[in-house]
Amino acid sequence: MTLVIGIGNPDRGDDAVGLVVAREVRAAAPADIAVIELGGDQLALLDAWDGDADVYVVDAICSGSAAGSVYRFDAAVPLGGDFSHRGTHLFSLADVIELARALGRLPARLTGFGIEGAGYELGAPLSPEAEVAVRSVAGQILGELTEGR
């Protein structure tokens, strides 16, 4: 099965990017694609993707890059120094992926997207840069999900 996971906090500005991508994908994806939203508990990913073969995960990152920058990675390759961007939660997406790898709990295919946010203030809306990145990432995921159908 294919699963799309959006992570974030809807009340903290650009921290909501993963959730917004998940909602856009859910609205347009084929019916056999599962889409879920998770709050800030990154460790919940280990149970969320259990048994799924093909997983996409989207979350906000804080790397110091330009707001709206998108980082895509394939978790088949250890992230290490190539993906040192920190998340907005206690554990970063990279931390959880490496933990899952060590525990033998990675899905067969895991594609991650990190979107650089501009701000994470309580009650703030998505920044214009994040809105552009959300549309781009949702479009990439939907394109891959519908390719060859």
How many residues are given for the chain? 149
* pLDDT tens by residue, 109-120: 999 999 999 999
**pLDDT digit string, tens, across residues 49-108:** 987 789 999 999 888 889 999 999 898 887 765 444 555 556 778 888 888 999 999 999
Pairing between β-strand 54-62 and β-strand 2-7 as defined by DSSP bridges: parallel
The 10s digit of each residue's pLDDT in 121-141 is 999 999 999 999 999 999 999
Nearest one of 141, 146, 147 to 22, comparing CA atoms? 141
- The whole-model pTM stands at 0.90
Instruction: Provide the CATH number for the domain formed by 2-146 in this structure.
Output: 3.40.50.1450
| pLDDT tens digits, 1-55 | 899 999 999 999 999 999 999 999 999 999 999 999 999 777 889 989 987 789 9
The domain locations on the chain are: 2-146
